[in-house]
Amino acid sequence: MVVKEKKSLVSFLACSACNKIYPVDELQTFADCEECGKSPLLAQYELLDGITKAEIDTTERSMWRYREMLPVFEDENIVSLGEGWTPILKLDRLAKSMGLSFLTMKDESLNPTGSFKARGLSMAVSKAKELGVECCIIPTAGNAGGALSAYCAKAGMKAIVVMPRHTPEAFKKECRYFGADLIEVDGLISDCARKVAEIKATQDCFDISTMKEPYRLEGKKTMGYEIAEQMNWTLPDVILYPTGGGTGLIGMWKAFHEMRELGWIGEKFPRMIAVQSAVCNPIVRTWEGKQTNSSAYKGDATFANGLAVPNPFAEKLILNVLHESSGTAVDVTDDEIKNSMKEIAANEGLLICPEGAALLPALKKLLAEGIIDHSEKILFLNTGSAYKYL
C-alpha cells in the first residue's frame, strides 16, 4: 500500500439540478435557484490519476478507509464511533427456497446505534463541527434521531430531535440517554419538518434534514464503496433498497460513478429497486405516473417507520437513479413486512428492521413478474436492527 497523508479531495459543491457551484469551505444547506428551485447540493471531488485502490487504508475497519473520497478536511474534526465496514451475508436458505442462484444482504444493523443512519450522521456532524456549528436539529422517523444524538454527544455539540409521537419508545429513550432535546409531534416526518422550521426561526441550530445539507449523502455513499470492495470490485446485478428519503440509494449510485471514474470498477452497474410501504408510497406513485410529483402526497404511518416519508426532498434524484439504472419502484403491505421479518429470522437467524424486511416480499413480486431473473446476483440492503421495535 502507498503510504501518504490522508486528506480529502473534495473540491466544491454543485447544484444537482443546474450544476451551479457552491464553496465547500462554507456552511451550506441546499441550492435555491430561480431556474431550478430547491435542489440538493452534491460534493464533487478532484479525481487525480494517482488515487488507486492500493491507497485504501485496509487497517481502518470503518467507512473512513475511503478518506480521500470523503469531505472532511482535517482528521481532528472526524467524529466517529466505528461506523461502516458492515458485512455482506449470504442468505442461502432463503435463496434455495426461492430457487435463486445468489442472494446476499449487506447488514447495516451492526452500525453504532443500530442502523445505517450512523454513516450519514457521522459525516454530517463531522463537517458541521469543522465549519463551527454548535447545535444540530433533525426531523426523524426514529433511527436518524438516535444517530444524531450519539454523534453530537461524541462531538460535544447540542442536538435537537423532532420525532413522531407514535415512534416506539426505545427510539425516544435512546435520544434522551445521549443528552438530546427530544420534541414529539403528532403526525409523520413531514409534520416534524414543519416543527423544525418553527424552532429554527427562534434558535440558532443547523438543520441536518435528509438531503437538505450535502454531507449525510457522503456518509451513506460509503455503502457503495464497501459493496464493490467486498465483492472484489464487482457489483451485483440488482440491489433492493428500502426507500424513504432515499439518501442511501442516491449515495450508492454516486459512489458507483466515482469509482468508475477512478478506474476501480467497470462499466456495468446494478439495477436499483426502490421498495416502499403501500401506505406511504410517493416514489411508487410518481414512478407509475399516478402523480406528477410527491409535493401534495399524503401518506399514513407504517410499521416500517423509516418508510413513512410522504414528500422526499430528493425525489428527482431518486427517480433519476431508477431511470439511469433501468430499475423500478415497488411497494408492499405492513402485513407482508411483518411476515417477512419472521421468515428471515426463522430461516437466516437475522432479526432485521421492518424497512429491511420489506425487501423480501418485494423480491418475490418482482421474480413473479419476471422483472428479476432467478439467475441474477441479488443484494438486499438492510438498514437496521429490529431490536428497537420489540
Q: What is the pLDDT along the chain (390 residues), one digit of tens a residue?
A: 333 455 889 999 999 999 999 999 999 999 998 878 899 999 999 876 668 999 899 999 999 999 999 999 999 999 999 999 999 999 999 999 999 999 999 999 999 999 999 999 999 999 999 999 999 999 999 999 999 999 999 999 999 999 999 999 999 999 999 999 999 999 999 999 999 999 999 999 999 999 999 999 999 999 999 999 999 999 999 999 999 999 999 999 999 999 999 999 999 999 999 999 999 999 999 999 999 999 999 999 999 999 999 999 999 999 999 999 999 999 999 999 999 999 999 999 999 999 999 999 999 999 999 999 999 999 999 999 999 998
Chain-centroid distance of CA 312 in Å reads 13
pTM greater than 0.85: yes
Q: Torsion over CA of 6, 12, 13 and 15, rounded to 10 degrees?
A: -150
One-letter amino acid identity for 324? E
* pLDDT for residue 7: 81
Cell match 464487482: residue? 234
Spatial CA neighbour of 348 closest among 314, 308, 386: 386
* pLDDT for residue 387: 95
Spatial CA neighbour of 295 closest among 307, 283, 306, 305: 283
3-state secondary structure of 238: strand
* pLDDT for residue 47: 76
The dihedral built from the CA positions of residue 324, 327, 354 and 108, taken in this order, carries a sign that is negative
* pLDDT for residue 49: 60
The dihedral built from the CA positions of residue 292, 295, 298 and 300, taken in this order, carries a sign that is positive
* pLDDT for residue 390: 87
One-letter amino acid identity for 56? I
Cell match 409523520: residue? 188
